[in-house]
Structure 1
Amino acid sequence: MCGRLSQYRGIHDFVAVLSIPDALINYVGDAPLAHYNAAPTTTLAVLHQHQQRVYAHALRWGWRPHWAKDRAAPINARVEKVAHGAFFRAIWRHRLIVPVDNWFEWVDAEDNSRQPWLIRRTDHGPVFCAAIGQFPTTETASRDDDGFVIITADSAGGMLDIHDRRPVVFSAERAREWLDPATPAERAEQMALFEGESSEAFEWHKVGKAVGNARNQGAELIEKVA
C-alpha cells in the first residue's frame, strides 16, 4: 500500500452502510470530508466504539509508541505481526475503522514514469479499512501523540499485481464486529488474517499524475484517464 487515499463523502454516508442502530457521536461534522488525495500525517475521520456507542473522531494518520520517538511514525501495520509485536502492543486492542472511498497505487509505466491507479469497491460503496490507534474516549481528551495505523496484508495477486501489500478491508458486517469492544482480541486477529475482502470485490482505473502531488485536491483527481 503506497500511503495515499480518498475520503470525500460525509461521515453519515459511511455510517449508514454499517447499519449501526445507536446514534453516532459525531466529532467530525456533517459536511463532506473532501479529502481526495490524503497523504500520511493527514487528519482523517475514523470510527471507533466505546461501550454501545459509535464515535467519529478526527485522527492523524500515523502512530508510534512513546519509546520510539527516534523514528518516523508508521502509517501501516503488517497483519502478520501486529497482534504480537512489541511496537503496536499498546494499541492492538484499540480497534478502528477508517472509512474511505478509494486508495491509490503506482505502477512503473513504459516511459519509466510512475502511473497512478485508483482502487475502489466494484459497487462504489465505502471501503472499511481495519485499523488500530490511540484515540480519545469519553474519559480522555485528545493528546498530541494520538494517531492510527491501517492494517495491511499480502496482496496475494489479482489486484493490479503492482504492490505486495494492500489494506485489510472488511464487509459492513465484519466492520461492525471489528468495532465491537466485546469481540475478543483473538477473534479480531483471525478476522484480520483471513476474513478481509478478496480482490474480486474491487475495481481499478488509471488516474492523472497530478495525484502524485499531495498538495493537489479535487474531484478531478479520481477521474478515469485513458
Structure 2
Amino acid sequence: MCGRFTQYRSREAYLEALSNSIERDIAYDPEPLGRYNVAPGTRVLLLNERDATLYLDPVHWGYSPEWWHKQPLINAKSETAATGKMFKPLWRSGRAIVMADGWYEWKRDGSNKQPYFIYHQSGGPLFFAAIGKAPFNKEDDHEGFLIVTAASDKGLLDIHDRRPLVLTPEAALAWISEKTTPEQASEIVKEGAVPIDEFAWHPVSKAVGNVKNQRPDLIDEVETA
C-alpha cells in the first residue's frame, strides 16, 4: 500500500523531469514544497490534464463518495480498479499523477514495526499513478483521489506486499492524457511501470509515524536494533 510519502522538491523540479512540451497552466514556483511526511486526509498537489493543458491542483488524499459511510479509501489496486464498480468511472475520466520523491512502508517484526524509505536508485522524482473524482479544481474534501497500487516483488515484498504504481515520465503523461482510453490506461499500467529492481530502500526513524513531524532527516538512514 502507500500510506505516507514525500513531496519535498519544487514543483519546477518535478515538471522538468517530465520533459514534456504540453501546454501548462501552472504558476512558476521554484520554492521546495518541503513535505517529508505526506499523510492521508491532507491536500496534495495533483498533476492532471484538462483541455490539453496541464494543471496542478491541491486535492484531498482520500476517496469517500456520498454513499460511502466508512473510513475514506486512500489506495486502489491496479489489478481491479479498471473494472470495479466503485473505481471504474475514476479510471475512465479521473486519472492523475502524484509527484513524489519516495514513500514509507512499515515492516513488522514481531511486535516491532520498522519504517523504511523507498526511492529510485537515481534519487530522481517519482510519478505515482492516481485516480479521483474529476475535475480536480473543485472544493470537495469528500471525493478526492486515491493512489493506485501494484503488487510488490523481490526485496520489496519483504517490507510490504503492495507498493504505489510508479510510472516512467513518458507513461505518466500518457496516463493523464485525455486522449488515452481506459483500455490503453490498463496497458500503461503493465508496460509503463518503473521496474522493481530500480528502487532502493533503507530503515528510517520511527519519528515518521507522527504526522506532525516534517523534518528533512526523516528520510535519513538509521541503524536498526
1:54 corresponds in structure 2 to 54
Amino acid aligned to 2:9: R
Partners of 1:184 and 1:225 lie apart in 2 by 44
Does residue 208 (structure 1) correspond to residue 195 (structure 2)? The answer is no
| Residue identity opposite 2:36 in structure 1 | Y
Which residue number in structure 2 is paired with residue 65 of structure 1? 65
Moved more, 128-137 or 213-222: 128-137
RMSD: 1.9
Shift of 1:136: 3.4
- Shift in Å at residue 115 of structure 1? 0.9
Structure 2 CA distance, aligned partners of 1:3 and 1:199? 19
Alignment of 1:148 with 2:145, yes or no, is yes
What is the aligned partner in structure 1 of residue 106 from structure 2? Answer: 106
**1:110-149 alignment, distance < 5 Å:** 112-136=111-135, 141-149=138-146
Which range moved further: 192-201 or 12-21? 192-201
1:171 equivalent in structure 2:
168
- Once the two structures are superposed, residues 198-217 of structure 1 have per-residue CA deviations (whole angstroms, 9 ceiling, x without a partner) of 11111111111111111111
- Specify the SS of the correspondent of 1:67: coil
SS in 2 for 1:90: helix
Tell me the residue number matched to 2:183: 186
Conserved? CA contact 1:136–1:142, under 8 Å: no
* Superimposed CA distance per residue, residues 3-62 of structure 1 (whole angstroms, 9 cap, x where no aligned partner): 011111111110111112144322695532111011111211110011221001111111
Which amino acid in structure 1 is aligned with residue 153 of structure 2?
A: A
Structure 2 Cα separation of the partners of residues 144 and 42 of structure 1:
9
- Number of equivalences: 222
Q: Please tell me whether the aligned partners of residues 64 and 73 of structure 2 are also in contact (alpha carbons under 8 angstroms).
A: yes
State the partner residue of 2:96: 96
- Corresponding letter in the other structure for 1:7: Q
Write the letter of the residue equivalent to 2:45: A
Is the CA contact (8 Å cut-off) linking 2:64 and 2:143 kept in structure 1?
no
Identity %: 39
SS of 2:6's equivalent in the other structure is strand
- Alpha carbons of 1:15 and 1:115: their partners in 2 closer, same or farther (altered >3 Å)? same
- Distance, in Å, in 1 between the alignment partners of 2:88 and 2:73 is 14
Structure 1 residues 51 and 2, CA gap change in structure 2 (3 angstroms):
closer
Note closer, same or farther for the CA distance 1:206–1:178 as it changes in structure 2 (3 Å cut).
same
Residues in 2 aligned to 1:101 and 1:161: alpha-carbon distance in whole angstroms: 21
Query: Whole-Å Cα distance in 2 between the matches of residues 28 and 39 of structure 1?
Result: 25
Instruction: Tell me the CA shift for residue 156 of structure 1.
Output: 2.6
Cα 1:162/1:61, change in 2 over 3 Å? same
Instruction: Summarize deviations over 1:160-186 as a string: whole Å, max 9, x none.
Output: 522111111101111111111111110
> Amino acid of the residue matched to residue 9 of structure 1?
R
Q: Which residue of 2 aligns with 1:10?
A: 10
Equivalence for 1:75: 74
Unaligned 5+ runs, structure 2: none
Q: Distance in 1 between matches of 2:114 and 2:75?
A: 22
Provide the C-alpha distance between the structure 1 equivalents of 2:188 and 2:21, rounded to a whole number of angstroms: 23
Structure 1: distance between partners of 2:15 and 2:22: 11
Q: Secondary structure at the match of 1:71?
A: coil
Structure 1, gaps ≥5 residues long: none
Q: TM-score scaled by structure 2?
A: 0.91
SS in 1 for 2:88: coil
